[in-house]
Amino acid sequence: MFKQVYLARYFDVRLIKEKRRGRLKGTLYSSHNQEAILVGALFGLQSNDWISPIHRDMPAFFLKDLRKGWQREDRIGMSIEEVCAQVWGKVDSPGRARDNWSHIGSRSKHIIHSTSMLAGTIPVAAGLMYADRLNGGDAVCLTFNGEGSTAQGIFHEAINFAAVHRLPVVTIIENNQWAYGTPVDLGCPTPDVADRAKGYGIPGFIADGQDVFDVYDKVTAAVEHARSGKGPSIVECKTFRAYGHGDHDDDRANKYRPQEEIEAGRARDPIGVCRQTLLSLGYLTSADAETYHAEGKNATEATNEDFPPEVVEYLNAGIEFALQSPLPNAEEGAMWVFKEKN
Amino acid sequence: MSAVATPPATGKKNYVTAIKEALFEEMERNPDMICQGEDIGILGGAFGATEGLLAKYGSSRVIDMPISEACIVGSATGLALGGKTVMAEMQFIDFISCGFDQIVNMLATYHYRTAGEVNMPVVIRGPAGAYGGGALYHSQMNEAWFCNSPGLKVICPSTPYDAKGLLKGALRDGNPCIFFEIKELYRKREVEELLPEEDYVIPFGKAAVRREGNHITLVSYGQNVYHCLQAASELEKLGVNAEVIDIRTLVPLDEDTIFASIAKTSHLIVVNEAPMTCGFAGEIIARVAEKAFEYLDAAPMRITRLDTPVPWVKPLELFVLPSIEKIVQAALKSIKY
């Protein structure tokens, strides 16, 4: 789990570096400081479970079912090569580079394809889980959302429907305090976004989004609740967005957000929190704990030496693959509007 | 309007019965088919189109949904992702706007976004159209919104035979379809007809020539087809022989039948009850202008609703909508061009 947190962070750090080197185009939506949510939420899932990540969750695509083994062919999750091919807009992307950044998915990998309309995949997750139950399945679907998207009508409509039918849909809220340039108190009238659960008669868990183990515990409880037929739930993970909404917003985000708020929000780096827990429980010797130190460092400060070598090698392979993968043929732009003959 | 579908004694069937038969037959044929919508189960649908489905197929396949059009469409998308075929009813097609994002951004683009990995066999159907005093929010024909959203097929039958055959075809097509049913025709005795006992499907993109003629072509769909037919009868008395084409499906559009007709008549009027600006009548005329301009002897014309909402009381409503008289006058003008 610790290594996965490192992997998620390294992915973020490395993509920022790649873009600065000019080897990567497009907007990056950093998950820096929110990695514990992705790792903690995904770690306990069964292989056949589904996920629905959004823009800030890019590592989720390869973290899914990673526990099974990083190189396992039978994982039900995307390979790092597929994810990098998508980031670089190459034909080997699972979506053949038809939509950008995190707008990919895969039926075979049990990942719902998102759009830019936030909370829009929750009804899809609900319908999918309805179908899964009819088919005799036992899957659970985790949908990831920001606190901002909980103001969308479809958020309410979908959770309402899921609650009526006790569908196994767990809605993760990554409450990073800022919906682009709007603070949470201008988007949600209650102190805890999880309070929205009360209206549906479902549990609203609150997790420390900096603590991978707390996220794991709360999401595991929510998943067990869902899998046992008791229905949906909301898990609010409290965290803080390290950078701007996207990297185009980094400079402004340092102005519209008070400096002391940024410092406080980034003070508890999920890597450091995880290390401390492992040390205190005796799962990590102090010698091992001293080896790598990525916490507290932003993309400019962190170097490859701050990360375990296997993490660096894993991503290197993905990036090399992406750089060599070709662009799709231009004609593909007009393909697959409709399914052709049965 | 009665919610109970009483089959006529003649053996002929009305439009809503044809819809109902299509749903029952496809539910029987395809165990992976789900029906969902507001009041479709216990009530049997506001117009009775789903009457008896719940009793026969149970609540897991016939889902009474909350008043949540966006969720109806979104969950239909999820059901399709999970391998199901879905009929999603909009209680009135006017309410489809509440599900608009889920239709045009989520459902319509799913196949495209996944480069063909995922198909979306979802049919969104619902009662549409004016002339019944339904006022602003129970009278709309909003088909143009969906024709302008790539990835959707758009269908509008005008007869019971077509309604059944096109709906069965839509439920087997594998693509998202928006299916406009004309509620004024649901129980109209004049359009009742005998339906085949055997299974049949009407292919998309095949227009029907409802009346042959060689002086002018009237192109339409839905209930305006009947206005065109009655206008053609009036015109005949005046010595004008009109051909009436019912396109039946807007996307895909059967251009060939339209072009072949104007090659013969050299005059074209397109009639639809949606508003004029950016409406489908304009699209048909644009295609004719691009591809069959040389056939025309007169400027093609549109008879549509004025660019207004559909008002409630009869004089207001009829004032803004296409009428037999408006079509006749336009046809005479075209002939004299």
Contact B117 A135 (CB under 8 A): no
Its domain, for residue A157, covers 2-334
Q: Which of B61, B78, B101 sits opposite A127 (nearest CB)?
A: B78
User: Does position A304 have pLDDT exceeding 50, yes or no?
Assistant: yes
Q: Which residues of B are the active-site residues?
A: 138
Answer whether residue A339 is part of any domain: no
How far is the C-alpha of A262 from the C-alpha of A266, rounded, in Å? Answer: 6
Mean pLDDT of chain A: 96
How far is the C-alpha of B36 from the C-alpha of B65, rounded, in Å? Answer: 6
Which residue is closest to A333 within chain B, CA to CA?
B112
Residues A92-114 have a mean pLDDT of: 96
Answer whether residue A341 is part of any domain: no
User: Does position A263 have pLDDT exceeding 90, yes or no?
Assistant: yes
Q: Which of B79, B116, B120 sits opposite A130 (nearest CB)?
A: B79
Contact A161 B172 (CB under 8 A): no
pLDDT of B6 reads: 56
Q: Which amino acid would we find at residue A27?
A: T
How far is the C-alpha of B112 from the C-alpha of B106, rounded, in Å? Answer: 10
How far is the C-alpha of B337 from the C-alpha of B330, rounded, in Å? Answer: 10
Nearest CA distance, B237 vs chain A (angstrom): 45
- The pLDDT tens digits along chain B (337 residues) read 445 555 555 799 999 999 999 999 999 999 999 999 999 999 999 999 999 999 999 999 999 999 999 999 999 999 999 999 999 999 999 999 999 999 999 999 999 999 999 999 999 999 999 999 999 999 999 999 999 999 999 999 999 999 999 999 999 999 999 999 999 999 999 999 999 999 999 999 999 999 999 999 999 999 999 999 999 999 999 999 999 999 999 999 999 999 999 999 999 999 999 999 999 999 999 999 999 999 999 999 999 999 999 999 999 999 999 999 999 999 999 999 8
CB-based burial label for B183 (10 Å; 0-12, 13-18, 19+): buried
- The interface residues of chain A toward chain B in range 80-119, judged by CB-CB distance below 8 A, are 94-96, 98-99, 103, 105-108, 112-113, 115-117
Kindly list the residues from chain B whose CB atom is less than 8 angstroms away from the CB atom of residue A106: 114, 117
pLDDT digits 0-9 by tens, A172-192: 999 999 999 999 999 999 999
Answer whether residue A126 is part of any domain: yes
**B274 membership: H or E segment, kind and range:** strand B268-275
* Beta bridge pairs of residue B178: B124, B154
Contact A107 B153 (CB under 8 A): no
How far is the C-alpha of B246 from the C-alpha of B261, rounded, in Å? Answer: 12
Q: Does B35 touch chain A (CB under 8 A)?
A: no
**3-state secondary structure at position A206:** strand
Q: Does A267 touch chain B (CB under 8 A)?
A: no
pLDDT of B7 reads: 53
Answer whether residue A26 is part of any domain: yes
Nearest CA distance, A206 vs chain B (angstrom): 26
pLDDT of A288 reads: 77
Contact B101 A120 (CB under 8 A): yes
Contact B82 A131 (CB under 8 A): yes
Q: Does A337 touch chain B (CB under 8 A)?
A: yes
Domains of chain B, with CATH numbers? Answer: 15-191 (3.40.50.970), 208-335 (3.40.50.920)
Q: Does A49 touch chain B (CB under 8 A)?
A: no
In this structure, what CATH number is given to the domain that contains residue A209?
Answer: 3.40.50.970
Question: What is the number of domains present in chain A?
Answer: 1
Confidence bin at A340 (pLDDT 50/70/90): confident
